[in-house]
Amino acid sequence: MTTENRWEVSQLVEPELIGEELTGAVIDLCRSKAEEFQFLGYEHTTWEEVWNCVNHKYVNKPEPPLHQMVNDILTLRADGMMNYLTLAALKEAPFS
């Protein structure tokens, strides 16, 4: 193997995201998932609703690793999202 074909490890690994960059990346991922739902006909889905749906899974639990949160966002299905929104709406509705 020649030295021309070798890659430095630093060239293969993405720089670690921290702070606002990490937050922005997660928000962009939630926006992408919300757009996916909008293409499926759920026009009023927002990135905040996607985030709340995924984040709801971790109430009263320690913060999960980043890769698990990203996986949960990417694998969120429309039926899971709609179930969450329905239950959230029922919890907020006043009963007479």
List pLDDT tens digits, range 3-54. 555 545 444 445 566 778 888 899 999 999 999 999 999 999 999 999 999 9
Is residue 31 in some structural domain? no
Alpha carbon distances (Å) from 30 to 15, 55, 64, 72, 96 = 21, 11, 17, 10, 36
And the tokens for 44?
């009023």
**Do 26 and 52 meet the contact criterion of CB atoms below 8 Å apart?**
no
pTM for this prediction: 0.76
Reported as a pLDDT band with limits 50, 70 and 90, residue 93 is: confident
Report the Cα–Cα distance between both ends of the chain, in Å, rounded: 76
The pLDDT value given to residue 96: 59
In a domain, 73, yes or no: yes
pLDDT score of 70: 94
For position 16, what pLDDT does the model report? 66
Residue 26 lies in a domain: no
Number of domains forming the structure of the chain: 1
Going by C-alpha positions, the residue among 56, 58, 19, 53 that lies closest to residue 34 is 53
